[in-house]
Structure 1
Amino acid sequence: MFHYMLIFMAYHSSRWIPRNQRFKFQIVNAVFTALVLVPQFYVMGRPKSSRYCRQPLLNNLSASIALSFMASGFSVIFTLIDPVPQSFRASYHVFGLLSFCQGLCTTILTLTAAACAKTTPELYYLSLILTLACICSAGFFSVRGGLWLTKRLPVFGLRGNNEP
């Protein structure tokens, strides 16, 4: 969910800026994308990262890098196009499902790879950071989704303002 959250933040942050000044935001977006990708490439390039680890953390990092590139593309598209076509929104939500599955895999692999902290420390700690980011973003979207549901559905006697 971390990558899904990056796109969400870029989209909603860009809507505060007038259309003719969004180029400056694209520069900030590129810098933020670099801040997300550089540590991942750094850890992947470290010699210790290729050592044996019982869990496939390096493969998971490769998937995270691929999703980071896709997220940067989505964030550029979503901040440049106004209004965003429905097909892009649908593909964004499918990407969110993919991001959720990858975050779940990251969490499971990291929690079962405590021994890798000794053999591949950089890779393990980056996986731990990505796990925390995935958990926090999943929590954010769970609360946001719960609030959306309570607003939309008359559950447990909660009614809108115009209902008797």
Structure 2
Amino acid sequence: MLHYCLAHTAHHLSRWLPKHDRLKFQIIVVTFVTIVLVPQLYVLIRPKSARFCQQPLLGNLTCSIALTFMASGFAVVLTLKDPIPQALKAAFHAFGVASFTAGLCTTVLTASAAPCAKTTPELYYLSLMLSVGSMLATGFFLAMGGFWAANQLCPGSVLNLRSRTGVCLEPVSSCSCLWHI
């Protein structure tokens, strides 16, 4: 979910800015994606990364790089579009499922690849960082999904903007991007 979280965060942060100031933000997004992408590409081209590792961490890194490129595309498109078409929302949430699956695979592969820390240290530790980031992002979306589900089951209990009530009214009042895409 790390890649999904990056694009989701870029979308919501861009909504705080006026439409005419979003170009500067898009430059920041591209810079941030570059900062995220460079270590992955560096580890990919390292000769040590091609050594034997019992788990396919190198193939997993390639998948992560592809998802990073897709996340950057979604981040740019989501900051440009206002309102967001339903088809784009559906594609973005399908990307979220793919990102969750990739994060789950990364976590499982990394957990079972402890011996790779000696043979391919850069690859192993990058995979470990991607696993931790994915778990944190998944935890965030599970918490947000819990609030959403509670609000669907008991309408207005978590957030009711009309009557200005609910558990999440104060955080959402000061940061409306916390609620949904």
TM-score > 0.5, shorter chain as reference: yes
Measured in 2, the distance between the counterparts of 1:138 and 1:159 equals 21
1:130 is aligned to 130
TM-score (norm 2): 0.85
TM-score (norm 1): 0.94
The C-alpha deviation readout for 1:92-117, integer Å capped at 9, x for no partner, is 00000000100000000000000000
Q: CA deviation at 1:152?
A: 1.6
- Residue identity in the other structure for 1:23: L
| C-alpha spacing 1:160/1:9, structure 2 compared with 1 (3 Å) | closer
1:154–1:160 contact (8 Å) kept in structure 2: no
Q: Percent identity?
A: 56
The runs of at least 4 aligned residues of structure 1 exceeding 2 Å deviation read 158-162
Larger relative CO (CA 8 A, sep 6+): 1 or 2? 1
Q: How much has 1:154 moved relative to structure 2?
A: 2.7
1:110 and 1:88 mapped to 2: Cα distance?
32
Aligned-CA RMSD value:
1.6
Which residue in 1 is equivalent to 2:5?
Answer: 5
Q: 1: CA distance between counterparts of 2:58 and 2:121?
A: 12
Q: Partners in 2 of 1:154 and 1:29 — Cα distance?
A: 37
Q: How far, CA to CA, are the matches of 2:147 and 2:70 in structure 1? A: 28
Deviation track 1:44-79 (CA, whole Å, cap 9, x = no partner) reads 011100000000000000000000000000000000
Number of residue-to-residue matches in the alignment = 160
Letter in 2 for 1:120: T
Partner of 2:173: none
